[in-house]
Amino acid sequence: MARQKIVAGNWKMNGSSESIDQLVVGLNAAIDNAPVEVVVAPSFPYLAQVDNLLEKSPIKMAAQNVSEQGSGAFTGEVSISMLQDFAVDYVLVGHSERRSVYGETDQVIAEKTKALLASEITPVLCIGESLEQREKNITLDVCFSQIDAVLNLVGVNAFEQVVIAYEPVWAIGTGLSASAEQAQEVHKAIREHIAKSDEVVSEKVRIIYGGSVKASSSSELFTMPDIDGALVGGASLKVEEFIGIVKSAG
């Protein structure tokens, strides 16, 4: 069975109530029954607003982060059950900005993934190497060890319920996207790595690419056999660009 493509917009810490209104109204007008899954990830304060705006829309909603804790004295954190008060279908876990700026470890990321898997929310596990690591030729070692930290905690079967986002750190927000061939090479290696634990799961798991994806380059990415969609940052804040990416995936 073919894997359904996903195009997800990670809005990061951008937007206001007004700009988000315009963005979602624009997306709703352009996307009625897209053949791919379309997802947007607003900041926490706008989840309720976006939830309302998407009520009759096929577009799904993601949160950008979540706590691995259930509830209690964790000031500033947001729990899974809080997200479940809204139509949150996906949560980004381990985005490189969470890892590098906020010091999230592989262990915490694995625990967040585990907690999400116990709910009805799909984790989007973000992995990827830095420029230094790529230059040292350890791209695959880095990606595999980030995956293994989760795999060892949740088991390979759980990966049927996980979306992996391969996002080379050097390509995020830099305008310097990996070429379709570079991305395909890593995606294929990730799938083969999972196949070592379970071949069936490796064929089912969706692996999406992120890092300076634009409408002008996305169709080439989507022709690659192991690229199942995109996680889009900057370009997802512009209706035309994001729609262009969505259309090129379908």
Bridge partner residues of 63 (DSSP): 91
Minimal distance, residue 99 CB to ligand PGA, in Å: 11
Annotated catalytic residue: which of 37, 97, 111, 167? Answer: 167
**Amino acid, single-letter form, for residue 184:** Q
Q: Which of 105, 53, 115, 110 is nearest to 78 (CA)?
A: 115
Q: Is residue 10 part of the contact set for ligand PGA (CB under 6 A)?
A: yes
**The one segment of 43-51, 131-139, 190-198, 210-218 that binds ligand PGA by CB under 6 A:** 210-218
Q: Does 176 bind ligand PGA (CB under 6 A)?
A: no
Q: Which of 121, 190, 215, 231 binds ligand PGA (CB under 6 A)?
A: 231
Stretch that binds ligand PGA, among 26-34, 139-147, 166-174, 191-199 (CB under 6 A): 166-174
Q: DSSP for 98-160?
A: HHHHH---HHHHHHHHHHHHTTTPEEEEEE---HHHHHTT-HHHHHHHHHHHHHHHH-GGGGG
Count the site residues for ligand PGA by CB under 6 A.
13
The C-alpha atoms of residue 59 and residue 214 are separated, in whole angstroms, by 19
**Residues whose CB is less than 8 angstroms from the CB of residue 84 and which lie 6 or more positions away in sequence, other chains included:** 119, 120, 121
- Least distance between ligand PGA and beta carbon 97 (Å): 7
Stretch that binds ligand PGA, among 29-37, 66-74, 133-141, 230-238 (CB under 6 A): 230-238
Q: What is residue 169's DSSP assignment? A: G
Give the binding site for ligand PGA (CB under 6 A): 10, 167, 172-173, 210-213, 231-235
Known catalytic residues are: 95, 167
